[in-house]
């Protein structure tokens, strides 16, 4: 029963054992502790459940990207995400004489978080917006409105763009990305559509690498007040080149063949999430 259903509960096993007279004849009662002891004896342990269709989601995502790129007029794919920042964040590594710690001064109080929402594509950083506190549905709608106006202005300056362009917003599965108001926004703006990333696949979103590089550029400005932090976050976006964005997009696409091959990819742009070097692999490692 456990092999067939890894998330079956002990009480459900208990009930099925009592009701199954073919395999468990004469057993009218059994305690949960006995069931647990039997499972332990046969080397069954509790562990975090993984999504069975994780690789299937990646295959469907890559196939959908290829389908979109095959349209008669290929749309512009825009990668969107949010990242938080705080005044207490500083460089975590430094240099000093052997035997002495590398010390950095940080504010005595943590203060509130500041969140940056940004969008990148092959044309570089398209739009960004910093806000005090966490992001939510209303802030996201304001960001999408700003993104729409910016795209209209950008395409107006570039006559080579198609007369009726289309944009595909690619982002993760955070709850406010799926809010009803957000779905209504895409319905009201038919030239925009959205595509959700597969679960546990940040390596397929190049904006993750954008934020990794962007954070270091914010560090370099050493903001000490929230007003200065907002300014530093905005200015740091201007330092990100178009070539860098294109490189991150190529790096994300480098995982497509392994996704189609249903490979078990254990990689993330944030090495803190994968502290074991043996578990870290990227497209160039094999």
247-257 burial string, b = 16+ CB within 10 Å, else e?
ebbebbeebbe
CA dist 218 and 224 (Å) reads 11
Q: What is the mean pLDDT of the chain?
A: 82
So what's the pLDDT on residue 99? 76
So what's the pLDDT on residue 274? 44
Give the global pTM. 0.69
So what's the pLDDT on residue 105? 58
* Residue 84's pLDDT band (cuts 50, 70, 90): confident
| φ/ψ (deg, to 5) at 192 | -110, 140
E-strand spans in the chain?
76-85, 114-121, 124-132, 167-171, 192-196
So what's the pLDDT on residue 282? 47
Average pLDDT over residues 141-155: 90
């Amino acid at each position: 029963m456990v092999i067939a259903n890894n998330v079956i509960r002990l009480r459900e096993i208990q009930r099925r054992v009592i009701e199954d007279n073919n395999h468990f004849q004469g057993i009218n009662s059994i305690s949960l502790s006995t069931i647990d002891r039997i499972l332990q004896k046969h080397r069954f342990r509790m562990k975090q459940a993984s999504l069975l269709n994780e690789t299937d989601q990646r295959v469907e995502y890559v196939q959908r990207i290829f389908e979109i790129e095959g349209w008669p007029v290929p749309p512009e794919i825009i990668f969107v995400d949010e990242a938080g920042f705080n005044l207490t964040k500083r460089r975590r590594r430094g240099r000093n004489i052997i035997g002495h710690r590398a010390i950095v001064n940080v504010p005595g109080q943590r203060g509130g978080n500041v969140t940056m929402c940004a969008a990148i594509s092959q044309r570089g950083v398209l739009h960004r917006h910093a806000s005090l506190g966490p992001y939510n549905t209303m802030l996201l709608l304001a960001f999408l409105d700003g993104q729409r106006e910016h795209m209209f202005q950008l395409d107006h300056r570039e006559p080579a763009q198609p007369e009726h362009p289309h944009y595909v917003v690619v982002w993760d599965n955070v709850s406010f990305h799926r809010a009803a108001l957000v779905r209504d926004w895409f319905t009201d703006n038919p030239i925009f559509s959205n595509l959700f990333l597969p679960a546990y696949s940040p390596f397929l979103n190049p904006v993750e690498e954008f934020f990794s590089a962007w954070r270091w550029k914010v560090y370099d400005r050493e903001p000490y007040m929230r007003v200065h932090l907002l300014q530093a976050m905005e200015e740091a976006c201007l330092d990100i080149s178009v070539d860098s964005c294109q490189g991150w997009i190529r790096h994300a696409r480098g995982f497509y063949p392994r996704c189609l091959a249903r490979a078990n990819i254990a990689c993330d742009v944030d090495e803190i999430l994968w502290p074991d070097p043996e578990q870290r692999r990227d497209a160039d490692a094999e």
